[in-house]
Amino acid sequence: MASPVGDIGLIGLAVMGQNLILNMNDKGFTVVCYNRTVAKVDNFLANEAKGTKIQGAHSIEELVSKLKRPRKIILLVQAGPAVDSFISQLEPHLEKGDIIIDGGNSHYPDSIRRTKELESKGLLFVGSGVSGGEEGARHGPSLMPGGSPAAWPAIKEIFQATAAQVNGEPCCDWVGETGAGHYVKMVHNGIEYGDMQLIAEAYDILKRGLGLHEDEIATIFERWNKGVLDSFLIELTANVLKFKDDDGEPLVTKILDQAGQKGTGKWTAINALDAGMPVTLIGEAVFARCLSALKEERIRASKVIAGPQKEAFRGDKKQFIDDLEQALYASKIISYTQGFMLMRQTAKDLGWNLNYAGIARMWRGGCIIKSVFLGDITAAYTKTPALESLLFDDFFNKAVHKAQPGWRRIIAQAVLWGIPTPAFSTALAFFDGYRAEVVPANLLQAQRDYFGAHTFRVMPGKENERLVAGKDIHINWTGRGGNVSASTYVA
């Protein structure tokens, strides 16, 4: 039998799979493809893959037999049971050191489980985030591989060549252990929710606050796209705003204001709650979509709940628009600060060594949140790999200080207008809380101890005979009831 020619195998010939195969083929790799509905293999070979080096297989056995060792097989199938089904079909045909890669939208706990299961059988597993949609898959996605570290040297060349390139650097690097690749993809999607919500709030302020037309707003976004906000989502928004329906009206004004969601933002918010990390902006972005979905109820409420009297804007419009740019920028800095805080905490909880500079670099191109801004985050984490918070980095610290006055003015004005800015506002609330040496949690602790004998600790410097440092103290606040609380020092 002839020696195998395939550099990599790919199972799943839906659009993402087909495009990724064509992309890898363009980069000079020989890809062998397979699909559950086998007719799709022949169809693909006779059409999109015609005239390429792409090979087909009509069974799992044939697929495996056509691959060079260690064998590398990417699954691009529906997340869930289909992935497990293909893994168990592949296993009997694979040998020690072979690599199964899941490039689908799997939830990271599944990837943690699959890494452990396959490693226990001598095989290697990679769960890779793939971002950038069909276009990205075809011409260069952001690839976020994590899983068995031993797999990385074997797949590095193919992955980095296939990924988007920014300034000659691939938007793909090793993310970390077990489920880290799919985890980071999930956080990417959460951050995407936040970025989109911030842009939507800026649009609302410009439209309902300043009373601007979509064409004028598009021009503002185009200008912003040349500055600190330079990003795919800002560019896309300008294009959306300019797009006209057949009657000349901006099409966006005819779209029902009820946002859908597929769940990755929600997963990120749930993870933030589980990790105990204040990732408030993504949370608000998810809730804003939930509120939007209550269309019928909002219509009823709009008839019976009045807001403030609408007043025309009498200030300096140019200054206001510049303030808004700064408000968006500062809020975005907060959102990414929170996202990286979450990744750090999860890495700690799960024992992952995450490559933060690498993560920012992977997101710089190929994906929905790609931006110039991510280059600055890459620089911050390259300079200080163990950076505790983006706000401690000089560049971002200066940026947020510069943005602060305008950011506050925008939120104040929006509040007076009655225009909701959940993402802008929560970013500022986080900022003010984060920079506060003392927050009113002293009172929360007193309340908890008052009603539930939950105890508290003494503030350093305020110790005395009954308020002893390092002890869980309970006070009998009312002079009634018991002094008892579980494992407590009773003062």
Catalytic residues: 185, 192
The string of DSSP letters for 203-259 reads HHIIIIIS---HHHHHHHHHHHTTTTT-BHHHHHHHHHHH-B-TTSSBGGGGS-S--
Contacts 24+ apart (CB under 8 A), 57-65: 57/9, 57/32, 57/33, 58/34, 59/34, 60/34, 60/86, 60/89, 60/90, 60/93, 61/93, 62/34, 63/9, 63/11, 63/32, 63/33, 63/34, 64/9, 64/90, 64/93, 64/94, 65/1, 65/4
State the minimum distance, in angstroms, from the CB of residue 118 to ligand 2AM: 18
Is 136 or 406 the residue whose CB approaches ligand 2AM more closely?
Answer: 136
Is 13 or 158 the residue whose CB approaches ligand 2AM more closely?
Answer: 13
Q: Are 230 and 328 in contact (CB under 8 A)?
A: no
Is 107 or 402 the residue whose CB approaches ligand 2AM more closely?
Answer: 107
State the minimum distance, in angstroms, from the CB of residue 35 to ligand 2AM: 5
State the minimum distance, in angstroms, from the CB of residue 65 to ligand 2AM: 20
Paired with 100 in beta bridges are: 73, 125
Is 37 or 120 the residue whose CB approaches ligand 2AM more closely?
Answer: 37
- Residues in contact with 347: Cβ distance below 8 Å, sequence separation at least 6, in sequence order: 176, 180, 353, 354
Q: Of the listed pieces 36-44, 272-280, 393-401, 457-465, which binds ligand 2AM according to CB under 6 A? A: 36-44
Is 14 or 251 the residue whose CB approaches ligand 2AM more closely?
Answer: 14
3 to 32, contacts with ligand 2AM by CB under 6 A?
12-14
State the minimum distance, in angstroms, from the CB of residue 16 to ligand 2AM: 8
Which of these, 29, 60, 64, 32, lies nearest to 45 by C-alpha position?
32
State the minimum distance, in angstroms, from the CB of residue 190 to ligand 2AM: 24
Q: Hey, what amino acid is at 442?
A: N
State the minimum distance, in angstroms, from the CB of residue 100 to ligand 2AM: 14
Which of these, 188, 124, 489, lies nearest to 339 by C-alpha position?
188
Is 40 or 361 the residue whose CB approaches ligand 2AM more closely?
Answer: 40
State the minimum distance, in angstroms, from the CB of residue 164 to ligand 2AM: 23
The string of DSSP letters for 244-278 reads B-TTSSBGGGGS-S-----SHHHHHHHHHHHHT--
Q: How far apart are CA 478 and CA 367, in angstroms?
A: 58
62 to 121, contacts with ligand 2AM by CB under 6 A?
77-78, 81-82, 85
Q: How far apart are CA 113 and CA 183, in angstroms?
A: 13
Binding residue (CB under 6 A) for ligand 2AM from 18, 35, 115, 413: 35
Binding residue (CB under 6 A) for ligand 2AM from 36, 53, 93, 156: 36
Binding residue (CB under 6 A) for ligand 2AM from 1, 3, 37, 304: 37
Q: How many residues bind ligand 2AM (CB under 6 A)?
A: 12
377 to 396, contacts with ligand 2AM by CB under 6 A?
none
132 to 171, contacts with ligand 2AM by CB under 6 A?
none
Q: Are 454 and 240 in contact (CB under 8 A)?
A: no
Q: How far apart are CA 145 and CA 173, in angstroms?
A: 7
CA angle 103, 105, 111 (to 5 degrees): 75
Is 12 or 194 the residue whose CB approaches ligand 2AM more closely?
Answer: 12
479 token code pair: 């002079």
Is 13 or 220 the residue whose CB approaches ligand 2AM more closely?
Answer: 13
State the minimum distance, in angstroms, from the CB of residue 306 to ligand 2AM: 49
What stretches of 384-474 show up as alpha helix (H) in DSSP? 394-417, 422-434, 441-452
Q: Of the listed pieces 34-42, 278-286, 298-306, 328-336, which binds ligand 2AM according to CB under 6 A? A: 34-42
Q: Rule CB under 6 A: say whether 53 interacts with ligand 2AM.
A: no
Q: Which residues bind ligand 2AM (CB under 6 A)?
A: 12-14, 35-37, 40, 77-78, 81-82, 85
